[in-house]
Chains A and B, each alone.
Chain A
Amino acid sequence: MKEDREWLWYQMTTILGIGSCTIRKLIEYAGSLEEAVELTTEQLEESHICNKRMAAGWSRACAQRESLRKEYEGLHRRGIRFISIENELYPERLKDLSDAPCGLWLRGRLPKPCSPSAAIIGSRGCTPYGLELAKEMGKKLAGIGVDVISGMAIGIDAAGQWGSLNSGGYSLGILGGGVDICYPRDNIALYEMLLLQGGILSEAPPGAVPLPALFRLRNRLISGLSDCVIVVEAREKSGTQITVNCALDQGKEVFALPGRMTDPLSRGCNLMISQGARILYDFSELADFFRADVKELLRESAMPSLTALEKMVYGYLSDEPRHFEEILHETGLPVGELMETLLHLEIKGAAHQQIKNYYRRSLRME
């Protein structure tokens, strides 16, 4: 019986152009889910719920029911799971949403229902600092057992998820398109890693092409599945803002990383702070929020012991990547000696070569 209802939900949710709200209205109109599935195209048009295009999609789907059934039965072979809103696996957090998706597709596994979670979000075009910080954030959160939810986009999203996965944490990637399509393609390594160690979730049926409109919908799931949203870097106008708005609508806490006034990539964050977002000035803020042990969060911050020369060179480094040539000018050391010192700093983990010959201090909260 239960299995049958899953199948009915499946039929409803795979129709392109018909979203969760429309499905709910249709069920209300028809009286029940079983009756809703049997609605004819004429009835649909009479109901004034659907426009012509949606009705056309509906009739096409009705005609292809046979093949749809086959696809439904073959889902598990492709490692995909369909979870309807009535399924016991369906995340509790999403049920509270006014426009909760009627069905979800999953690869990998879902987060444990009671485990705390945070969304790490931000720009795709981000600074090296933002990238590194997102990674560090993912790592710290994994350390205190918080799941990292994000959209698998290039930049901050991916960095945060990598940070979590590399430290053995759980991370969930929420896609705009179908779960069987790795989008963006560059993140295929992350996609594979999520299959092993986390999960990939989408509201769109498998094979759905990731369209811009789908990403707006996806963003409400990111905030919906998280206890709080952490914005690492964002421009004044960005997709991140959509997620933050969703989070505010859903009553979730929003953390924003403060940035410099002149940095366009931090402007969005600073704006959020001015509008009342919580300032993430230190990782301990997160410990406070998740009621975790601060010590656990701030572990590994001890400075390695440096020689006098290394200390001197370290003094010339900053959080921004600086080119070797600049450091060379300021320290006045010979090329070979400076390169040697920087290499030792790198090996000790005090300095980091962002890209070739650009050095900066490693992140650590002193």
Chain B
Amino acid sequence: MLGIVYSGAISGIDGMAVRVEADISDGLPQFDMVGFLASEVREARERVRTAIKNTGFQLLPKRYTINLSPADLRKEGNGFDLPIAVAVLVASGVIPQELTEGCMMFGELGLDGTLRPINGTLSLVTEAKEIGFQRCIVPRDNELEGSVVEGIDVYGLESLRAVVDFLAGPDRFCPGVTDVTTLLQEAAARSTEDFSDINGQLAAKRATEIAAAGFHNILYIGPPGSGKSMLARRLPSILPRLTLSEALEITKIYSICGLLPREKALVCERPFRSPHHTISMQALTGGGRTPKPGEISLANRGVLFLDELPEFNKATLEVLRQPLEEHKIILSRVRGSCQYPANCQLVAAMNPCSCGYYPDRARCSCSLADVNRYLGRISQPLLDRLDICIEVPRLEYSDLTGTGQCGESSEDIRMRVEEAVKRQQARYNSEKILFNSQLSPMQIKKYCRLGKNQQELLRQAFQNMNLSARAYHRIIKVSRTIADLGDSETIREQHICEAIGYRSFDREVWR
């Protein structure tokens, strides 16, 4: 007899339907599995047989053949135990075939028949809904995550016995419910890190606000203890609120990596990833024999913070160049290639020299050659991708004790940022881009028209300040964002002046 059950595998961050077939025929007692299986799927054989026995069903001494289709897609992960077990039970006649129709299932089985959590539930359930399934069976621990998807009933069950009962009478069970909108709102109210924690540093705060409004990459330079990391950590709190589709995209990635806590249905905050500078290239971009998302994908729709930028391995940093432009990364490995989103905002922090105090000669004893060597560790192409660069000065005592000005709260700043973002989205609704930082030179010509006075100002600045041609587009993009923040449709002189102030350093300046 034949039993057919549907399940899914993960490819990239998306699910793919997999048809699990079980056949029982006469012959020597055997349990064979085919279908391009990874070893964790191959081992399902022992778990499934024992779990079925311990749930109270009898396996006959016959020849069992299991096939996972499509045969050319490599099946990985621990989610195939349950569908295989159910397919076997269908083939044995325990469960009638028609009861499994319209239902997709995933789950790892314990030897006692309990269902254990799996990774990537969200992607799998989304795929199930898109293909047109009405129900999904997931392990109890994954119910919250799965029920985020609307338009499909997700049932979290705790054992193989419960699954059999469920299939016999689904009406006695209630699908899981997650209120996504409330979750997102609650998360926004919960954020703990706030810009009002930072005293002083007005210029750096303003630069951070501009970076948030235009999704510009930003570089902080400053001595140790000046608050670079503090600023960076608070950047997510002023970024525009997550939309549902963004939250889903982030959650998929976290779920695939097994980083989503069991009690959480959704990642509701923008990610802030801060890898240590000893990170390897694979860990940053993603990789491995069977590709897994790296830090750059985990920071998708959020902030990738690289503290002590020059301490990173040079080759590791260089791989960031292409994903930063294309907002996605394609990994090609032996077992095929897959694509992960990498739409993150790069925030980098560094000291001006290896001791950290240049140009404070009272404390810094680095020679100019040392300073230049330290800066030379970062390549110019990477610097070109950092639109905004700001020096964060050492804090004064009055700043520390709080007698200085206490800044605005993140909420106030975010209001302005969201206004600016709206303006950008209205402007670019016919384009593929969302933010000023993504403007191509052609689009700059179209959307960032400069008047005669503004052009003259730029010309003078270029002449007198020895700016490089590469700085030109960056300055215009940033001034566009400053204009958006200032509720101005045209770029004015003051916007350009401010943008020039935030330009990334040219090496010459340090000599």
Contacts and interface: CB of A to CB of B under 8 A. Distances in A.
A340 B367 contact: no
Interface string A320-331: 010111101100
B369 A186 contact: yes
Contacts of B460: 347
A141 to B, nearest CB: 21
A355 interface: yes
A125 interface: yes
Given A347-B465, A355-B510, A339 B391 contact: no
A230 interface: no
A44 B345 CA distance: 74
Binding site secondary structure of chain A: helix
A161 to B, nearest CB: 13
A113 interface: no
Contacts of B202: 325, 328-329, 335
Binding site secondary structure of chain B: helix
Given A154-B368, A357-B501, A340 B494 contact: yes
B368 A323 contact: no
A92 B368 CA distance: 36
Which residue, of B393, B501, B510, has the highest number of chain A Cβ atoms within 10 A?
B501
B369 A154 contact: yes
Interface in B196-217: 200-204, 206
A355 B359 contact: yes
B505 A355 contact: yes
B118 to A, nearest CB: 49
B432 interface: no
A252 to B, nearest CB: 28
Interface string A330-366: 0000011101101110110100011111100000000
A272 to B, nearest CB: 20
Contacts of B495: 336
A346 B200 CA distance: 25
B501 A128 contact: no
B411 interface: no
B203 A325 contact: yes
A246 interface: no
Contact of B509 (A154, A326, A353): A353
A125 B368 contact: yes
A124 interface: yes
Which residue, of A184, A357, A358, has the highest number of chain B Cβ atoms within 10 A?
A357
Interface in A144-162: 154-155
Which residue, of A184, A321, A347, A356, has the highest number of chain B Cβ atoms within 10 A?
A356
Nearest to A336: B498
B501 A342 contact: yes
Interface in A291-327: 321, 323-326
27 contacts: A124-B368, A125-B368, A127-B361, A154-B369, A155-B367, A155-B368, A184-B369, A186-B369, A186-B372, A265-B361, A323-B391, A323-B393, A324-B501, A325-B203, A328-B203, A329-B202, A335-B203, A336-B206, A336-B482, A336-B494, A336-B497, A336-B498, A339-B497, A343-B500, A347-B465, A355-B391, A356-B505
Given A339-B497, A340-B493, A354-B359, 5 more contacts: A125-B361, A321-B359, A336-B497, A339-B498, A358-B391
Interface of A: 124-125, 127-128, 154-155, 184, 186, 265, 321, 323-326, 328-329, 335-337, 339-340, 342-344, 346-347, 349, 353-358
Nearest first, the 8 A-B pairs at minimum CB distance are A340-B497, A357-B391, A339-B501, A323-B393, A335-B206, A343-B497, A336-B498, A339-B498
